Amino acid sequence: MEELPLDFEVAPAAPEREDALQLSLESWEGPLDLLLALARNQKVDLKQISILALVEQYLSFISEARELKLEVAADYLVMAAWLAYLKSALLLPKDPLEDPSPDELALRLQLRLQRLAAMRDAAARLLARDRVGRDVFLRAKPEGLRDVRVRRWDASLYDLLSAYGQVKLRSEPVVHMVSRRPVVTLDAALHHLQRMLGVKLDWAELSDFLPVDYDGPLRRSAIASSFVAALELARQGRVELKQEGAFEPLYLKAAAMGQGA
């Protein structure tokens, strides 16, 4: 891969030409701008302008520039080619079938030039108006209108007292007490269930096997433990289980001895 030269020679600047043509070409903003300048040289109203004469001027301008080996940007050449076509079409005997007709093309060009000229004049008139900071002046340091936001703090007496409560609590010695939760262990449930199975002979609901004085979380714990215990006893073949459907009551019965083992 070729390395880029770090210290390349800068091409010498092109010698300054005392050539108005070149300077002019650079000072135009595109072919339409140049056309408008040439049109204005005709010193007639743009409505009466001779498009043919304008085309002639443009083409000779561009060809002169090329003879002087000036670089002519592509869009100027495109316009030159189009104008050359327009010129020949305007000069040739009219072909009524040609669409669009050269007259129409010329009219379009004329309309475009009129519009550009109108906006150029408008810009000049706009810039000539009395402008702020140049012709008319405002106050240098106005006081200004201000909207000042005033913060209004809000809190209720409850906020205040509960905040103080928290402070007091934080500063009191902290004692952690772990509360023992009421549970029925699996062992206890197994033991209890086996005992009860000896008493109840027919099908009975699981909840009937629970101690009657259990309620609340302790009862929930007993149900869970007893259920697991029932499954364990069933696995051992010591109990039969029956349920009509999902979420229906679960019935237990001691397995008939002799058939199981």
Partner 1 sequence: MIDDLERAIEAMLFASDEALDARQVANRLGGEMTPGDVRAIIQTIAARHAGSGIELVERGGHWHFQTPADLAHLLRRERDDPRKLSRAAAEVLAIVAYHEPVSRAEIEAIRGVQTSKGTLDVLMEAEWVAPAGRREVPGRPLIYKTTDAFLQHFGLTSRKDLPGVDDLRAAGLLDPVDLAFEEAMGELDLVKDGEEA
d(CA 230, CA 249): 13
Among 108, 191, 195, 242, binds partner 1 (CB under 8 A): 108
Listed ranges 7-15, 86-94, 194-202, 207-215: which one lies at the site for partner 1 (CB under 8 A): 207-215
d(CA 84, CA 105): 12
191 counts as binding partner 1 under rule CB under 8 A: no
84: left (phi over 0), alpha (psi -120 to 50) or beta: alpha
Q: Name which of residues 127 to 156 contact partner 1 (CB under 8 A).
A: 127, 129-156
Q: Name which of residues 232 to 261 contact partner 1 (CB under 8 A).
A: none
Q: Name which of residues 64 to 83 contact partner 1 (CB under 8 A).
A: 75
Shortest gap between Cβ of 105 and partner 1 (angstroms)?
A: 10
14 counts as binding partner 1 under rule CB under 8 A: no
**Whether 217 contacts 182, CB under 8 Å:** yes
Beta bridge partners of 250: 243
Among 216, 245, 246, 259, binds partner 1 (CB under 8 A): 216
Q: Which amino acid is at 16?
A: E
d(CA 163, CA 160): 5
Among 72, 114, 251, 255, binds partner 1 (CB under 8 A): 114
